[in-house]
């Protein structure tokens, strides 16, 4: 009844900002960034990308509670760039890597399809489903006897409830 | 910048096996997570049961119906989420209707299968102009995967005997697997790295001989075996990942792999 919609776990509310940046008051060049409606998929990837950047002194993320759909990303830089700018730089790098990967997938798939072996020969699911072994029969236990099979109740007209 | 290296080892309609190199583990793992949980498909979401005299209760059948993979090609652009739609409940833009109406008149057990599910148009469909979404749908969009294809065994929903019937209407909606696993296009995603366990990310339990009790997998041939007495390199990081993605047929394996681009939308805040 009063359960929230399940999609509120991954869809931003009306007018909700996806990112909140809170600059740290005690540590220089540090910020805690709250990213809403995202989880480990993005958090861990960003953390790893940030750690690969030379300007970063610290980068870590946590999902404070599994039922709260956001994560916190803590970044400290060496002072040459603000943490939030560095984060957007990390995002751009990841977008670049993904674009490169997408191009490679396209090329490989095109290559495999041109190769001919791709779809035609390997066929499409189906045949591999166990065919005859799983085929329906009127004899579910494969004995033909014992349980009485189907013939024994065949012509009774009770249970006709439509 | 990291430039990934990719090699596809095996490719079928609903299965792809590939090796990804020169990326870090977090990136490879995000790829895996996205393929499993973030790609939209369509699945039966609401079932109106009109008659059920089978041995299975309504809830049981509804649950089974939800799990049936439906053709979802191009789903991200060919369908709206109901929450983004401006209709009152559901309409031709954000849902598909499937009906099933089966009675058994024979004196043998009858199988009610996914082949009995028929796509029917919405009542008001065609009254208004077809939206841009519908134009992008393929002919079979929303019908059960493999329906009436030769050699494809249909999915069993229920068995009925003489005199029993099952009549229902299903509303098919678009969703992602974070909401319910029935919307996952993947039936299995395998992910492996460091087949020789050089990085010691795991420790094997064994009776007497670790090597004899833990035979190496296929992927071990791709990497150099550790030398006898080789010192442990605690700085080493995994960089070669072995994926095998198998889909339930709702999306093809190629489509699943190409759609990982959806992460870009997460990154573009
Ligand atoms: Zn609608």
Whether residues B191 and B171 fall in one domain: no
- How far does residue B89's CA lie from ligand 1's centre (Å)? 7
Whether residues B33 and B47 fall in one domain: no
Looking at the complex, does the CB of residue A123 fall below 8 Å from at least one CB of chain B?
yes
Whether residues B165 and B207 fall in one domain: no
Q: What is the pLDDT of residue B194?
A: 96
Whether residues B225 and B157 fall in one domain: no
Least confident of B45-49, B120-124, B218-222: B120-124
Whether residues B149 and B195 fall in one domain: no
- Asked if residue B169 lies in contact with residue B194, where contact means CB atoms within 8 angstroms, the answer is no
Q: What is the pLDDT of residues B2-16, one digit of tens each?
A: 689 999 999 999 999
Whether residues B51 and B150 fall in one domain: yes
For A160, the closest chain B residue by CA position comes to B163
Q: Which of A3, A21, A41 should one mutate to test binding to chain B, selecting the residue with the greatest count of B CBs within 10 A?
A: A41
Residue A1 banded pLDDT, cuts 50, 70, 90: confident
Last residue of a domain, one of B179, B212, B235: B179
Q: What is the CATH number of the domain that holds A64?
A: 3.30.1360.10
Contact B33 A40 (CB under 8 A): yes
> Tokens at residue B129, please?
């102009």
Determine the distance in angstroms separating the CA of A2 from the nearest CA of chain B, rounded to an integer. Answer: 17
Q: What is the pLDDT of residues B195-252, one digit of tens each?
A: 999 999 999 999 999 999 999 999 999 999 999 889 999 999 999 999 999 999 999 9
ipTM score of complex: 0.90
Mean pLDDT of B133-148: 90
- How far does residue B121's CA lie from ligand 1's centre (Å)? 14
Q: Locate tokens 């789903």: which residue?
A: B75
Asked if the model's pLDDT at residue B44 lies above 80, the reply is yes
Contact B267 A94 (CB under 8 A): yes
Q: What is the CATH number of the domain that holds B159?
A: 2.170.120.12
Asked if the model's pLDDT at residue A28 lies above 90, the reply is yes
Mean pLDDT of B154-159: 96
Closest Cβ opposite residue A126 in set B34, B151, B156:
B151
Asked if the model's pLDDT at residue B260 lies above 60, the reply is yes
Whether residues B48 and B171 fall in one domain: yes
End-to-end alpha carbon distance in chain B: 21
Whether residues B45 and B170 fall in one domain: yes
Q: How far, CA to CA in Å, does B208 sit from each of B100, B111, B211, B214?
A: 58, 51, 9, 11
Whether residues B25 and B51 fall in one domain: no
Whether residues B70 and B137 fall in one domain: yes
- Asked if residue B173 lies in contact with residue B83, where contact means CB atoms within 8 angstroms, the answer is no
> Tokens at residue B263, please?
């992460």
> Tokens at residue B52, please?
């059920």
- Asked if residue B121 lies in contact with residue B45, where contact means CB atoms within 8 angstroms, the answer is no
Residue A28 in any domain: the answer is yes
Q: What is the pLDDT of residue A92?
A: 94
Q: Looking at the 3D structure of chain B, how many domains does it have?
A: 2
Residue B16: count other Cβ atoms within 10 Å of its Cβ.
24
Which pTM value belongs to this model?
0.85
Asked if the model's pLDDT at residue B38 lies above 60, the reply is yes
Whether residues B45 and B109 fall in one domain: yes
Residue A71 in any domain: the answer is yes
Contact B109 A138 (CB under 8 A): yes
- Asked if residue A46 lies in contact with residue B30, where contact means CB atoms within 8 angstroms, the answer is no
Give me the residues of A, 8-67, that contact B with CB < 8 A: 9-11, 18-19, 35, 38, 40-42, 44-45, 47-49, 52
Q: What is the pLDDT of residue B269?
A: 72
Contact A162 B267 (CB under 8 A): no
Looking at the complex, does the CB of residue A154 fall below 8 Å from at least one CB of chain B?
yes
Q: What is the pLDDT of residue A148?
A: 40
Q: Looking at the 3D structure of chain A, how many domains does it have?
A: 1
Instruction: Name every chain B residue with its beta carbon within 8 A of the beta carbon of A45.
Output: 26-27, 29-30, 263
Mean pLDDT of B40-48: 97
Contact A126 B146 (CB under 8 A): yes
Whether residues B84 and B207 fall in one domain: no
Last residue of a domain, one of B179, B214, B244: B179
Q: What is the pLDDT of residue B84?
A: 92
> What is the domain extent for residue B71?
41-179
Please compute Rg for chain B using Cα positions.
Answer: 23
Residue A111 in any domain: the answer is no
Q: What is the pLDDT of residue A137?
A: 38
Backbone conformation region of residue B259, classed left if phi is above 0, alpha if psi is from -120 to 50, else beta: alpha
Q: What is the pLDDT of residues B66-106, one digit of tens each?
A: 999 999 999 999 999 999 999 988 899 999 999 999 999 99
Mean pLDDT of A129-154: 39
Last residue of a domain, one of B132, B149, B179: B179
Asked if the model's pLDDT at residue A142 lies above 70, the reply is no
Q: What is the pLDDT of residue A138?
A: 42
Residue A20 in any domain: the answer is yes
Residue B146: count other Cβ atoms within 10 Å of its Cβ.
23
- How far does residue B130's CA lie from ligand 1's centre (Å)? 13
Instruction: Name every chain B residue with its beta carbon within 8 A of the beta carbon of A98.
Output: 260-261, 263-264
For A140, the closest chain B residue by CA position comes to B109
Asked if the model's pLDDT at residue A88 lies above 80, the reply is yes
Residue A47 in any domain: the answer is yes
Mean residue pLDDT of chain A comes to 79
Closest Cβ opposite residue A102 in set B51, B161, B261:
B261
Q: What is the pLDDT of residue A161?
A: 47
Instruction: Name every chain B residue with its beta carbon within 8 A of the beta carbon of A7.
Output: 81, 83, 175, 179
Determine the distance in angstroms separating the CA of B202 from the nearest CA of chain A, rounded to an integer. Answer: 20
Give the 3-state secondary structure of B61-128: HHHHHHCCCECCCCHHHHCCCHHHCCCCCCCCCCEEEEEEEEECCCCCCEEEEHHHCEEECCCCCCCC
Mean residue pLDDT of chain B comes to 93
Give the integer Cα–Cα distance in Å for A43 and A39.
6
- How far does residue B255's CA lie from ligand 1's centre (Å)? 25
Residue B130 banded pLDDT, cuts 50, 70, 90: low
* Residue with more model confidence, B207 or B132: B207
* Residue with more model confidence, B53 or A114: B53
Residue A51 in any domain: the answer is yes
Asked if the model's pLDDT at residue A149 lies above 80, the reply is no
| Concatenated DSSP letters of A86-97 | HHHHHHHHHHHH
Q: What is the pLDDT of residue B124?
A: 72
Closest Cβ opposite residue A161 in set B8, B163, B254:
B163
Residue A114 banded pLDDT, cuts 50, 70, 90: confident
Mean pLDDT of A86-111: 94
> What is the domain extent for residue A14?
1-81
């Amino acid at each position: 009844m009063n359960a929230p919609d399940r999609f509120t776990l991954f869809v931003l509310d009306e007018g909700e900002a996806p990112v909140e940046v809170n600059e740290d008051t005690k540590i220089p060049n540090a910020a805690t960034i709250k990213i809403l409606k995202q989880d480990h998929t993005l958090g861990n990837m960003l953390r790893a990308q940030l750690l690969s950047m030379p300007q970063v002194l610290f980068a870590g993320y946590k999902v404070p509670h599994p039922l709260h759909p956001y994560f916190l990303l803590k970044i400290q830089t060496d002072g040459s760039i603000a943490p939030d700018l560095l984060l957007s730089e990390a995002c751009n790098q990841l977008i670049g890597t993904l674009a490169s990967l997408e191009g490679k997938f396209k090329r490989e798939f095109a290559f495999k399809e041109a190769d001919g072996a791709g779809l035609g020969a390997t066929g499409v699911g189906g045949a591999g489903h166990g065919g005859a072994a799983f085929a329906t029969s009127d004899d579910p236990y494969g004995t033909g006897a014992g349980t009485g099979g189907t013939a024994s109740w065949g012509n009774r007209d009770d249970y006709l409830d439509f | 910048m990291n430039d990934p290296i990719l090699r596809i080892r095996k490719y079928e309609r609903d299965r792809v096996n590939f090796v990804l190199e020169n990326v870090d583990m977090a990136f490879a793992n995000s790829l895996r997570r996205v393929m499993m949980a973030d790609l939209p498909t369509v699945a039966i979401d609401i079932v109106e049961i009109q008659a059920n005299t089978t041995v299975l209760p309504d809830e049981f059948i509804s649950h089974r119906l939800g799990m049936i993979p439906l053709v979802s090609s191009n789903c991200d652009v060919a369908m709206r989420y109901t929450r983004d739609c401006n209709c009152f409940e559901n309409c031709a833009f954000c849902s598909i209707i499937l009906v099933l109406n089966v009675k058994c008149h024979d004196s043998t057990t009858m199988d009610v299968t996914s082949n009995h599910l028929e796509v029917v148009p919405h009542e008001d469909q065609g009254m208004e102009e077809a939206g841009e979404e519908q134009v992008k749908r393929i002919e079979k969009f929303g019908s059960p995967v493999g329906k009436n294809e030769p050699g494809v065994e249909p999915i069993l929903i229920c068995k009925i005997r003489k005199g029993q019937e099952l009549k229902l209407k299903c509303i098919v909606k678009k969703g992602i697997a974070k909401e319910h696993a029935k919307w996952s296009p993947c039936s299995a995603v395998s992910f492996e790295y460091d087949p020789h366990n050089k990085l010691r990310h795991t420790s094997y339990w064994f009776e007497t001989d670790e090597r004899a009790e833990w035979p190496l997998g296929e992927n071990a041939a791709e990497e150099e075996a550790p030398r006898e007495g080789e010192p442990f390199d605690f700085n080493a990081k995994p960089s070669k990942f072995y994926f095998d993605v198998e889909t339930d047929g709702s999306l093809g394996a190629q489509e699943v792999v190409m759609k990982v681009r959806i992460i870009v939308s997460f990154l573009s805040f």
